[in-house]
Amino acid sequence: METLSNLWLGLETALTFWNLAYCMVGVLLGTAIGVLPGLGPTATIAMLLPVTFGLPPVSALIMLAGIYYGAQYGGSTTAILVNLPGESSSVVTALDGYQMARQGKAGKALATAAIGSFFAGTVATVLLAVFAPPLADLALQFGPAEYFSLMVLGLVASVVLAHGSLLHAFGMIILGLMLGLIGTDVNSGTTRYTFGFPEIADGINFVVVAMGVFGLGEIIGNLANETTRTVMAKTVKGLMPTREDLKQMAAPVLRGTVLGSMLGILPGGGAMLASFAAYTLEKKVSRHPERFGKGAIEGVAGPESANNAGAQTSFIPMLTLGIPSNPVMALMIGAMIMQGIQPGPSVMTEQPVLFWGLIVSMWIGNLFLLVLNLPLIGLWVRMISVPYHFLYPAILVFCAIGVFSLNNATFDVYLMAMFGFLGYIFRKLDCEPAPMLLGFILGPMMEEHLRRAMLISKGDATVFMSRPISATMLVLALILLASVLAPTVRRKREEAFQEEA
């Protein structure tokens, strides 16, 4: 009964004119970003963080969330029509979606992606509404020791699930933790690692790092690898799937939704991991695996359902525990902190309007995407053909203005440029920047909880093992770390990521 009254509160909040408007702006912008290869939701949300300063917290988060799950829809459009995924989670959609387009079934493939995404988004929203409150209640019992152990587990999981070399992932985590130490020590009041720059006495601004590494880094990388995009189907017909099509996609959509919902909650998981896992699962359970890669509708339905479910269930640990499961959730936490909201289980009790308004808006956003995306397919087709070198000057100016507006400081712009160069270097060295961003966000929080736990226990480090929940999470982190370092598991992990590539 309480859940129903909370959902009614969320419905009242989400259905206000401005919140509906920001939800629509978010999903349309997200779709456009997903359609344009090379500029994903992480870079876009990073660039738009300064804009959210002037918005109410609920509207800001509704818009940013809309960009994230809207990009999952948009990414499938380019994957199907151009064989060039606009979003990393749509890479596997291109394998069968593009083949369907070549066979004259582009409309069927796009409709499959839209229906699967809507169903998965609806289920994930229900799961969020059902499981988030009890998880938040449990988290309210957490002390500093439990929070520290939870963050350790989160960082270890993000290393395990990061692409590429384990050594690179560890290095990026440590770099993020070190960057998080820059600024003034909370306990002693002394500055640390500022190297004589008073501008970073309060620490490096999260927006500067995010916009540099993900915004400018992406721009430089995309300019270095700009490709000509040719659209397979200029006009898309046959958007209504037949009864046979619906029968074929039903089971893959259900499997993808379940798998994506589970994987979205994991640290380092989210939409991309879910879509790859769903494609592998569909290929394994199919009676005719040889059809995959040649235009199998299941190869579109499963991954597209999984990536949308994963995108939305990744909000569960962010909203209930204050722990980001992927870079976009780290940016959402940054947006909450900028709005003066402390992420964690207290959000549900102290900000119920924000919590439930955001959850209900996700279902409304998915409905907008289903209703608007297919009729606007002609617009998305035209956007695909826009050369990237026409877009990047506007993106660059937007980044510079956004960062400057934070503190009216040119130092921040130079710092962003430095992180942009670093972001490009990371790409060249095959170092995924996501673990660095998670380390940067979680580092100061880990330090704070570590110090609190040690103060309460009067310096007794065994407090982390003497409390059952804390000990369980540390043991899980240790098992996870030991298993991934085992030669057999490590080899399997490398093979999995090579298949994804």
| 3-class DSSP state of 448 | helix
Residue 270 CB burial class (10 angstroms; 0-12, 13-18, ≥19): buried
Q: Where are the alpha helices (DSSP H) in 162-194?
A: 166-181
Share of the chain above pLDDT 70, in %: 87
Distance between CA atoms of residues 147 and 453, nearest Å: 10
Exposure class string for 173-206: b at 16+ Cβ within 10 A, else e? bebbbebbebbeeeeeeebeebeeeeebeebbbb
Half-sphere exposure of residue 472, counting CA atoms within 13 Å on the CB side? 4
pLDDT interval class at 87 (50, 70, 90)? low
pLDDT at 501: 46
Per-residue pLDDT band at 37 (split at 50, 70, 90)? low
Strand partners, 191: 184
CB 131 within 8 A of CB 138: no
Q: How far is residue 459's CA from residue 214's CA, in Å, rounded to a whole number?
A: 39
Mean pLDDT check: name the lowest of 42-46, 118-122, 351-355, 469-473: 42-46
Distance CA(116)–CA(287), nearest Å, equals 21
Largest pairwise CA distance in the chain: 70
The band of 228, judged by pLDDT with boundaries at 50, 70 and 90, is low
> What percent of the chain has pLDDT above 90?
11
Q: Which amino acid is at 463?
A: V
Name which residue leads in pLDDT, 271 or 52: 52
CB atoms within 10 A of CB 237: 11
Instruction: Say if strands 191-192 and 183-184 run parallel, antiparallel, or are unpaired.
Output: antiparallel
The mean pLDDT value for 356-375 works out to: 86
Higher pLDDT, 264 or 177: 177
Query: Rounded to an integer, what distance in angstroms lies between the CA atom of residue 424 and that of residue 401?
Result: 21
Q: Which two tokens stand for residue 373?
A: 């995306």
CA 26/CA 3 separation, integer angstroms: 26
Q: Tell me the two tokens of residue 448.
A: 């704070």
pLDDT above 80 (res 253) = yes
Pick from 170-179, 208-217, 223-232, 264-273 the range whose average pLDDT is largest: 170-179
Closest CA to 81 of 104, 114, 58: 104
How far apart CA 29 and CA 44 sit, in angstroms, is: 9
| Mean pLDDT in residue range 429-440 | 83
In the prediction, which pLDDT does 415 show? 92
Rounded Cα distance between 236 and 35, Å, is: 15
Query: What's the pLDDT at 500?
Result: 47
CA distance 414 to 216: 12
The stretch 157-167 carries a mean pLDDT of: 72
Short-list 90, 85, 72, 69, CA closest to 26: 69
**Would you kindly state where each structural domain of the chain is located, as residue ranges?**
2-500
Per-residue pLDDT reduced to its tens digit, 462-481: 899 988 889 998 998 888 88
Which contiguous run of DSSP H or E holds residue 453? Answer: helix 434-456
> Which amino acid is residue 302, in one-letter code?
G
Distance (Å, rounded) from C-alpha 400 to C-alpha 425? 20
Hunting for tokens 């087709």 — which residue is that?
381
236 or 194, greater pLDDT: 194
**pLDDT tens digit sequence for 17-31:** 999 999 999 999 888
Q: What is the pLDDT of residues 394-419, one digit of tens each?
A: 778 877 887 887 778 889 899 989 99
Summarize the confidence of residues 238-254 as an average pLDDT: 81
Does the predicted model carry a pTM greater than 0.85? Answer: no
